[in-house]
Amino acid sequence: MEVIITRDYNEMSLKAAAIIAEQIKKKPDTVLGLATGSTPIGTYKELIRLHKEEGLDFSKVTTFNLDEYLGLSSLHKESYNYFMWKNLFKHININHENVYIPKGDVQDAEDFCHWYEEKIKEFGGIDLQLLGIGSDGHIAFNEPGSSLMSRTRVKTLDEQTIRDNSRFFRKEEEEVPRFAITMGVGTILEAKKILLIANGVNKADACAKFIEGPVTSQITASALQLHQHVTVVLDEEAASKLKRIGYYNWVRDNKHLVQKYLGR
């Protein structure tokens, strides 16, 4: 796991977008796993800028989103489908047929989850998965206690997640859905590369636990320690409770010295 500590949210967003852009340039038909929430908005803004000003081409890219609220239609303004089109897809040249987002208003959720897993396999798996992290250490909607081998499924949301997400809904907690369709931890771990981004002091505890603590289902992001290619980009606030900040910064500042030995 490579941990990159940046000064602030803007620098975190620029770094994350640069990593995604590099992946697309190396493999134009990249399969991206994408996340929602406030954290990746800056990253998506920079990807849009790279497309419009520097010609970053999304025409062959396929995307799979992590999750969606169960019971919300794709047109609902708080659905993740609506979020993705508003904040990224309508601003880039992606083929609409290559965009996959879980359907919150599907009739048979269990059957849909199976279909979603098979569709990811059909495209050869996810090349680069973008993640955020919840304040309790969850990734996607894999709440504390979720199996580290879990697959795409319907998940009951934790009370903390409902509270955290209530700011997006008019009536706050009363209106937040209680269930979601989410990729499982096991599904996420099958991505070839993983990029997790986090900012703000409210994520500091979760970041310290998943990076430097034990692997546990109570902090589902800790399962990323088991993956061979994970990059974590944090701002200084999110990194503030890490014990090995000096080492992470040393690696960041000296990485260029080893590049000639890595064939990159």
Model pTM score: 0.93
Tallying the residues shown for the chain, one arrives at 264
Cα distance between residue 185 and residue 227, in whole Å: 11
pLDDT in tens, 80-116: 999 999 999 999 999 999 999 999 999 999 999 999 9
pLDDT at 173: 46
Active site residue 97: no
Q: Which of 46, 117, 143, 235 is catalytic?
A: 143
Distance CA 168, CA 11 (A): 25
**With contact defined as beta carbons under 8 Å apart, do 51 and 90 qualify?**
no
Token reading at 153: 């499924």
Averages of pLDDT over each 10 residues, the chain, 264 residues: 97 98 98 97 98 98 97 90 97 98 95 98 98 96 96 88 69 69 98 98 98 98 98 98 95 82 65
92/17 Cα distance (integer angstroms): 14
Distance from C-alpha of 76 to C-alpha of 80, rounded to nearest angstrom: 9
Examine the residue annotation and report whether 11 is marked as an active-site residue of this protein: no
Q: How does pLDDT run across 171-183, given as a tens digit for each residue?
A: 554 567 789 999 9
Catalytic residue selected from 67, 68, 117, 127? 67
The domain limits of the chain are: 2-261
According to CATH, what is the number of the domain 2-261? 3.40.50.1360
